Every structure is written in structure tokens, then in C-alpha cells.
Structure 1
Amino acid sequence: MSELVTGEAVALELRPARLPSRALAVLLDLTVAMLVYVVLTIALVAATASLDDAAQIAVSIATSVLVLVGAPIAVETLSHGRSLGKLACGLRVVRDDGGPIRFRHALVRGGIGVVEILMTFGVVACIASLVSARGRRLGDVFAGTLVVRERVPVVRTGFLPPPPPWLAGRFSGLDLSAVPDGLWLAVRQYLSRMQQLDPQVGWAMAERLASDLSARTGTPVPQGVPPAAYLAGVMQERQAREARRAFANGAAVGGPAAGGVHPADAPGSYEPPAGFPPVAAPPTAHVAQTAPAHETVQTAQPDEPSSDRPAGGTTGSTSFVPPA
């Protein structure tokens, strides 16, 4: 991901296109341009047969410049950064701030592209793209542009089972500000896949995640609460806080609310348990807001098992079924 900051100080997370996809797009564009050039050359040779050699050479040079330089500039300007090859590969040229390009951006990219792509057979462009952290060639650097991927694979998130009813509101006093995003992602992934895991493996993962989560919050897991139910309860509490913060009316923009989660407050990184595939944080735009005045934070107290809670720490009659 590449974080771009717009003029309104909004952070955008875009996925820059790398060398293989860009090279394929350029190859498609050049193939189409050469076909058009050959067709136009044949037509012009027939139309200018009565002219002398100098005039025919001038027409040929003008045609090559128009097709190989002028046409790509016009196409990128009119399509706002999408040539035929980029459209086929799901790419697009944007400005450094994420906005659409204009004629001057396309002109600089096209002019420098003649040297680094056509005259050097793409060697200079390949070297510049490999050296650049965001895969930019020299034309992108001087024009202030970036080629990004428009078609990003959609990650399907599984259903998160709700916690048992007797855990409702049990974790309202937890301090979740020290929990990193990597741990939240691991917990969410486990809850969405726990029914597909081997019972013993799933139970071990739940214990590991519950131990890490309790260490971050500073409050031990309540006795008699299964680790999977504990994870579901804390995750529900976190989602409830995020929903309250998002829909709070009249809240001033400032630091994170008490108990809230913000990437800047997540110290360090988190290594998920063995068996989890690598996870990456989805593109998000974080807006920190203060909590409403009526919202208070309570300290977590080790409550006694309630009368409506099943004995022995089982989940009872609920849709949540932790691993055996």
C-alpha cells in the first residue's frame, strides 16, 4: 500500500502498480500503436505517391510522432489516465495526491517516455521502476504521477458469531487502547474460521489469542468464560465503541475516546499464532473523535457468575458455539 495525502489532509491508501503489470500494459499499448501506424503508413504511401521523396519522409515522420507520442498523450488526457493497455490490466495513472491527471501530466509522461521507453527499448523505465519504492518511472517522477491498481481483490470476511447473552456488557470497562491492529485482525480471522478448524487446534489458538488480548488490556480472562466466548465478547465491545464513535453527533475531532482503538495508539506489532495466513490491514480512513460527554468508562471488576449464566462456563442456548 502507498499512503497519499490529499490537499484536505485526508490519507488515501492506494496500491501502486508494479513492473510486470505496467510492462504488460505498455506492451499492449505499443502493439495497438504499431498496428495503427502500419495502417496509416500504407494509406499515406498510396495517397502521397505523387509527392517527392522529401515530402514523403516528412509525412512519415509526422505520422510516427503523431501515433507514437501524440496519440498516447491524447488518450491518457481524455480517459483520465486509462490507456487501452492500462484498462485491460486494471491500471490507472493518478496524481501524487490521488486526483485525475491533466494534459500537462500526460504531456510530461509522454515526452519522457519517448526517451526511456522507445529510444532505450524500455531499459531505463524498467530500472527506474525497480529502484522506485512505488514503482514509478522517470516520467512519473517528473510529472508527479503514480500508476495504481484499480481492480483490487475483494477480501470476503466470514460471519462473526455473537457472544453468549450472559456476556453482554461484561467487558464495557476494558481499556482497549493498547491492543494493536494485528491482534484485532487475528481475533477476527479466528472467529470467522473457528468452525472450520480442528477442535484441539482451535481451542489452542483461542487460548493463545485470549492470553495475548488479556495481557494487552491488563485484565485477566474471567474465570469460567471459554476463550472463544471471551474473544467474541471483547470483539463485540470494540465494534460497539467504534459504532458509537462513528455516529456520535456533535463530537469534536480530537484524540481517541477512552477505550477506543487507533492505529497510532497500537504499540508494536503482533505476531498471530501458528496456522494463520499473513493478514494485512484493509484500506481505511481513520478519523479520531472524542467520546460523548455522557459516555463514562468503568473499571473492569471480576463479576461473580450471574444466575442466568449456565454453570460450568458453557455457552448455554445461544448461536455462539466455541470449539470443543
Structure 2
Amino acid sequence: MQVSHPGGEAREDVFGTTPLVTGDAVVLDLRPAGFATRAAALALDVVLQLFLLAAVAVAVTWIGTGLDPAATAAFSTAAVVLIIVGYPTAFETISRGRSLGKLAMGLRVVGTDGSPVRFRQALARALAGFLEIWLTTGVIALFTSMVNRDGRRVGDFVAGTMVVEERTGGSRQEFIPMPPYLAAWAASAELSRLSPETAASARQYVLRYGELAEHTRHEMGVRLADAVAAQISPPPPPGTAPPHFLAAVLAERRRRHEEAAWRDGATGRRATG
């Protein structure tokens, strides 16, 4: 089928709020974490790190009297670096984006395109966190998280990451509107061969359209539009943007299902009436 790049208008007038797809281009039902949840997760991590720092201080005081002062200082510095930088880096890398605080609050760090966080990203977040959380007592992190729509702090911008919620309150049934200029075409389209799996993938793409990175949005849209077009007929008008095409198919499919359900209900009522 012929497709055109969706552009900014489609993002604003058809769908969208916030991101995500995995590195394998699988759309996820994840939402940027709320400020309060992120703050709670950070507080848990900071409390744990402070406890570890206190334990190191006690250990240094206990064993430091018999050691060379330079060795004691080196040990203390290494321990502090490992706790403040190494702890979040190791946990977020090994657990694919979770620290203990985030795990407790149902949060995860991901790339801005939804990909799993990498070591260099976790390290960049931790190094930036030393400045914006520890050296400034969290003032910089607090300010940037509050002013950014997705709650990203400086470390997230440096690393190209964001914190998302993994636990949701159940599946949402968002309404996908019919693009008006495609209503007549959709009403005459044959949709019976469209598989539930393809429709589900298209629905997730449409609902998360505004959350996707620019290159992912276009590439995935073209791929899904081609998959859907292969299962329906006739093709949409030339030049139709993938998100509009998919929205039209899904909206018409829902309308027909609702109409069929109403007819079945009416038939059942007449049979029992």
C-alpha cells in the first residue's frame, strides 16, 4: 500500500499521550511514572544507601586504627563510590532497569524508545545522580522532574532514559475515533480476514502513537499498515498515513462488532419474548 509519513498533525488530532516499544518493536502498555511514585522509590534507595554508608563508616572506624591513613582513605572513597554510583548502576543493569526502590514501587528504567536500559545508560544516570541528588540534596532532580512532562531528571536526559510504571490497574479500553475522511472507505472495506493478533498490535500502536520515538513511530506504522492491508480489501486511498489507516480499520471493526452484538441481543430478546 502507499503510505505517507504521519507528521505532526496525526500526532495531535488522532491519538496520543505518552511512550513505549521494546527494542524488538513490541508496544508495551507502560506509562511514565508519577512524580510521587518516583520520589518514593528514590527515597527507599537513598535510605538503603545511607544505611550502607553508615555501615562503611562504622567499619572504617573499627578497623582504621591499625591501617595506614592513606589506605583507610582509599578504602573509604572506593566504598562511597561503589554505594552511590555502583549500587544503582549494577542493579539497573542486572535487573533490566530496577533498583530495589523501583522494584518495591513497581517502576522500571527504560530507554526513551522503550528499549531495556543498558550499562552505559545506568552508569550515566548514576553519575548524574551524584550531582543532582547527593551534592545538591535532590534539589536539581526535584526541579527537573517537576517541570518535565514525563518526570525525567537530568540523569534521564543525559542517558536517554525515563522511568515507567510496570503495574497498571488493569487493561484500559481507550476509544479509537474514526478519521472522518476515511469513514466512507472503511464502511465498504472487507475486514473479515483481519486476524485478532494483527488487530491487537495495530490497536496498541494507535493508542501509544504519541509515545513513540519519531523513527520507531514511522517504521512500525508502515510495517503494521502493510500487515493490515494484506488482510483487508480494498486498500485505503493513496497517501493515507499509517496511523489514520489503522485507526479507521479499528474503529470500523469495533462498530461492526457492536452492531453484530446488538443484533444478536435483539434476536435473543425476540426468541424469548
Question: What TM-score range do you get, normalising by the shorter chain?
Answer: 0.5 to 0.7
Which structure's residues are more often helix, by fraction? Answer: 2
In structure 2, do the counterparts of structure 1 residues 121 and 248 end up closer, same or farther at CA, with 3 Å as the change threshold? closer
Say whether 1:90 aligns with 2:106: yes
1:50 is matched with 66
CA contact (8 A) 1:37 1:64 kept: yes
1:143 equivalent to 2:159? Answer yes
Residue 2 of structure 1 aligns to a residue whose secondary structure is coil
Partners of 1:93 and 1:135 in 2: how far apart? 12
CA offsets 1:177-226 (integer angstroms, 9 cap, x no match)? xxx7269xxxxxxxxxxxxxxxxxxxxxxxxxxxxxxxx979xxxxxxxx
| Separation in structure 1 between the aligned mates of residue 152 and residue 81 of structure 2, nearest angstrom | 24
Instruction: Count how many residue pairs are aligned between Structure 1 and Structure 2.
Output: 199
Corresponding residue number in structure 1 for 2:271: 317
Once the two structures are TM-superposed, the CA of residue 52 in structure 1 deviates from its matched residue by: 4.2
**Displacement, 1:85?**
0.1
Contact persistence 2:56–2:76 (CA under 8 A): no
2: CA distance, partners of 1:314 / 1:30 = 61
Q: Report what 1:181 is aligned to.
A: 176
CA pair 318-77 structure 1, distance change in 2 beyond 3 A = farther
Going from structure 1 to structure 2, the CA distance change for 1:99 and 1:36 (only over 3 Å counts) comes to: same
Superposed displacement of residue 9, structure 1: 6.3
Q: Which secondary structure does the structure 2 equivalent of 1:152 belong to?
A: coil
Counterpart-to-counterpart distance in 1, 2:30 and 2:20: 7
1:48 counterpart letter in structure 2: G
Instruction: Return the offset for 1:132.
Output: 1.4
Question: Distance in 2 between the 1:4 and 1:142 partners?
Answer: 19
Q: What is the TM-score of this pair, normalised by structure 2?
A: 0.60
Match of 1:131 among 147, 152, 159: 147
Q: Is the 8 A contact 1:92 1:149 kept in 2?
A: yes
- For structure 1, list consecutive stretches of 5 or more residues without a partner in the other structure: 158-179, 184-215, 219-237, 250-255, 257-261, 265-284, 295-309, 320-324
CA distance in 1, matches of 2:19, 2:116: 16
Contact 1:36/1:67 (<8 A) preserved: yes
SS of corresponding position for 1:35? helix
Seen in structure 2, the aligned counterparts of structure 1 residues 28 and 292 have a Cα distance that, compared at 3 Å, is: closer
Moved more, 36-45 or 128-137: 36-45
Task: Measure the CA separation in 1 of the matches of 2:25 and 2:91.
Answer: 30
Q: Work out the CA distance in 2 between the residues paired with 1:96 and 1:156.
A: 22
Report SS of the residue matched to 1:130: helix
User: Secondary structure of the equivalent of 1:244?
Assistant: coil
Take 2:160 and 2:131, find their aligned partners in 1: how far apart are those partners?
18
How many percent of aligned residue pairs carry the same amino acid? 41
2:52 to 9, 19, 36: 36
Please, what is the CA RMSD of the aligned residues?
4.1
- Contact kept? 2:21, 2:115, Cα under 8 Å: no
The CA distance in 2 between the partners of 1:86 and 1:130, in whole Å, is 18
TM-score, normalised to structure 1, is 0.51
Aligned to 2:194: 245
What residue identity is the alignment partner of 1:246? S
Point out where structure 2 has 5 or more consecutive residues left out of the alignment.
1-16, 208-220, 235-265
2:19–2:112 contact (8 Å) kept in structure 1: no
1:95 and 1:145 in contact (8 A); partners too = yes
> What's the CA shift string for 1:139-166, capped at 9, x where partnerless?
1111011111001111488xxxxxxxxx
Q: Which has the larger radius of gyration?
A: 1
Kept in 1, the 8 Å contact 2:18–2:31? The answer is yes
Structure 1 residue 40: Cα displacement: 2.6
